[in-house]
Amino acid sequence: MAKEDKKLKTEFVPSPRKVKAITKHLRIAPRKMRIVVDTIKREMALEAIGILQLLKKKGAKLAFKTLNSAIANAKNLGLNENRLYVSDVRADGGPVFKRFLTRSMGRADKLLKRTTHLTIEVREGFKVWGGRMPEDAKAKTKKKTAVAA
């Protein structure tokens, strides 16, 4: 337990507002897409853009476009772009194209061309290092709890 206390834990103090962008029918298998999107989960949105630009995978390019769309949606709603983080990323399976490949002796093999529905959700929040919150974040959370009570 002493080792856990020494480590700095990063947490996010979430905002109640969440903004998402959905891209459907992407021509990439969900399994391949999940490898890419798991790298940006719980990252700051601007850092996630940098990560996706450096990855050399097809899914990174597709996720980059969707993440940019989610950030643009958040800016239109008045959220601060510098405080956005990726709160949720899902790569769900879409419809499957079924094709047949002819083989020798009159046989056929089934080809499944999978598609993906990609959902990226961003929230405005504060990154907390080592259990300490910034002073402006403390003031905002106290105001919200006072209004709710």
Q: Provide mean pLDDT across the span 57-84.
A: 95
Residue 14 has pLDDT above 90, yes or no: no
* Residue 17, pLDDT score: 86
* Residue 128, pLDDT score: 58
CA distance linking residue 83 with residue 128, whole number of Å: 12
Percent of the chain with pLDDT over 70: 74
Q: Residues 97-131: pLDDT tens digits? A: 999 999 999 999 999 999 999 999 999 886 655 55
Mean pLDDT estimate for the chain: 85
CB 67 within 8 A of CB 120: yes
Q: What is the pTM for the complete model shown?
A: 0.75
Q: Among all chains, which residue has been given the structure tokens 């999107």?
A: 37
Within 13 Å of residue 13, how many CA atoms lie on the same side as its CB?
18
Amino acid identity, position 14:
P
- Residue 98's SS3 state is strand
Q: Provide mean pLDDT across the span 130-147.
A: 55
- Residue 94's SS3 state is coil
Task: Spell out the domains of the chain, with CATH numbers in brackets.
Answer: 9-144 (3.90.470.10)
Residue 1 has pLDDT above 80, yes or no: no
